[in-house]
Amino acid sequence: MVDAVAPADWPVEEIPGTARLFVRVHQDNWRDGRPKEGAFRFRGATPTADGSLSSNWDKYSDPEDTRVRSKEPHRNGVISLNVGFLTDELRLRVQHSPDHCLTRDPTTPWVRPNRAHTDVWSLESPEIRVLLRRECRVERALDG
Amino acid sequence: MSREPRIHQVSTASGQWAFLLGKDGPALSSPGDTLSGWPGATMTFSDSFSTYGHQLLGTQPMTTTRSPLDDVEAAFERARDILTWPDDWDGEGSPGYAEATWDRARDLVVRAAHAAIGHQVRMVIAPHVDNGPDGSIDLVWELPDRTLLVNVPADPTRWPGYYGDTKAGAVVKGTLDPAAPNDWLLLWLTQ
């Protein structure tokens, strides 16, 4: 996607409830054509402290863009989540967090600026993961 | 180095399977029994604990060729593959899986299963034994009318968390004392 605004100037925006967030799902995190509950990994989460799930806002991304940002795109599929479901039904916090990524590292070419980047914050909770598996939409299944 | 207690399935002279929780070594099943696996073991038994500290979880007649736990054991054996995954197996920095976590997950289900068998449960429904987040293991039962997820954390000091719901709207959730039988989980699946 072509973006007229320089990465350093990307503002943090309010994400409407109608928006969708794309999430990459590795091939070992699928069961019966759906993401496993374990695919919803809130980094750093414990039962008492929130962790974040990385996603991409559909205003600035799409399933293919989300997939190719992985180290091994051919080993990943993509699902999406409705923001209103996350915030209103599950009471999770959704925070647009554009990744300005101003330092380029040639050894990690998959890391590049990402205006779509959005964090979903949650405790480690079996309940949340069961409901996310149930409610998510598969946008791009695994290759083959 | 002391070993973690494990569940042992042994045959007894009276034609029963006995399920014992304890460290490796001689074990007894019930008063008057001789264990075929450990001939010569002394017959001292009281209050469901042997003199060697093994706790009797339950017994079951050896009348069937297929154990109610066959499907459970097969599910865990299939899942052993995740123990070979290296750190960053998903390219997103996820850690690998420890055998100790797999052991705790298996023991939780086997212990619950033996207790449930004592409540006349004939066949134990095997879970999906899945890779969970951050080195944890997910145990998932997906039935036509209900779903149950038990998460066994990589951190042995944390109790497993669980969530289950039914299409009729009933919900169960909380944490599990891993030392308890927790057979109600399997009974809930068959209600």
Quickly list DSSP for B102-126: HHHHHHHHHHHHHHHHTTT--SPPP
pLDDT at A118: 97
Write out chain A residues lying below 8 Å of B138, CB-based: 36-38, 126, 129
Question: Where do the DSSP E strands lie in chain B?
Answer: 6-11, 16-22, 45-46, 49-50, 55-61, 128-131, 137-142, 146-152, 161-166, 171-175
ipTM for the assembly: 0.90
Helix (H, G, I), strand (E, B) or coil at B134: helix
Q: Name every residue whose Cβ is closer than 8 Å to that of residue A100 and which is 6 or more positions away in sequence.
A: A7, A8, A10, A113
Q: Which residue has the higher pLDDT, A144 or B163?
A: B163
pTM, entire model: 0.79
Q: How many CB atoms lie within 10 A of CB B114?
A: 27
Could you tell me the CA-to-CA distances from A88 to A13, A17, A93, B14, B164 in Å, in that order? 18, 8, 10, 60, 21
Radius of gyration from C-alpha coordinates of chain B:
18
Closest CA to B94 of B63, B123, B152, B136: B136
pLDDT at B172: 96
Angle at A46 between CA A43 and CA A49, to 5 degrees: 90
Q: What pLDDT, on a 0 to 100 scale, did the predictor assign at position B104?
A: 97
**Gap from B130 CA to chain A (nearest CA, Å):** 8
Q: What is the pLDDT of residue B43?
A: 30
For chain A positions 47-106, those within 8 Å of chain B (CB to CB) are 47, 70-72, 75
* Burial of A103: CB neighbours in 10 Å, binned 0-12, 13-18, 19+: exposed
- Which of B90, B143, B155, B176 has the highest number of chain A CBs within 10 A, making it the mutation to test binding with A? B90
Q: Which helix (H) or strand (E) holds A23?
A: strand A20-26
Q: Dump pLDDT digits (tens) for A65-83.
A: 999 999 899 999 999 999 9
Q: Work out the mean pLDDT of chain A and round it to a whole number.
A: 91
Q: Which residues of B touch A129 (CB under 8 A)?
A: 133, 138, 149, 151
* Each residue's pLDDT tens digit, A96-123: 999 877 655 656 656 678 999 999 999 9
Residue B49 is predicted with a pLDDT of 46
* Distances, alpha carbon A83 to alpha carbons A13, A55, A134, A140, B45, in Å: 14, 11, 15, 19, 60
SS3 B89: coil
Q: Return the sign of the alpha-carbon dihedral for residues B84, B176, B7, B53.
A: positive
So what's the pLDDT on residue B69?
83
Interface of B with A (CB under 8 A): 85, 89-94, 128, 130-134, 136, 138, 140, 147, 149-151, 158, 161-163, 165, 173, 175
User: Quick one: pLDDT at residue B34?
Assistant: 44
User: Binning pLDDT at 50, 70 and 90, where does residue A5 land?
Assistant: confident
Residues facing A25 on adjacent strands? A77
Chain A residues touching B158 at Cβ < 8 A: 46-47
**Which residues of chain B make contact with A127, given a CB cutoff of 8 A?**
163, 173
pLDDT at B166: 96
A70 with B91: Cβ contact below 8 A = yes
Q: How far is A26 from chain B (nearest CA, A)?
A: 6
Residues of A in contact with B163 (CB under 8 A): 125-127, 130
Contacts of B144 (CB under 8 A, 6+ apart): none
Whether the predicted pLDDT of A20 surpasses 70 = yes
SS3 B21: strand
Q: Which of B18, B5, B14 is nearest to B118 (CA)?
A: B18
- Return averaged pLDDT per consecutive 10 residues of chain B, 191 residues in all: 56 64 50 41 39 63 68 94 97 95 96 83 86 97 95 96 96 95 90 77
For residue A68, which residues of chain B lie inside 8 Å, CB to CB?
none
Largest Cα–Cα separation, chain B: 57
A134 CB neighbour count, 10 Å cutoff: 11
Chain B: nearest CA to A115, how far in angstroms?
Answer: 19
What confidence score (pLDDT) does residue A77 get?
Answer: 97
Predicted local distance difference test score (pLDDT) of residue B98: 98
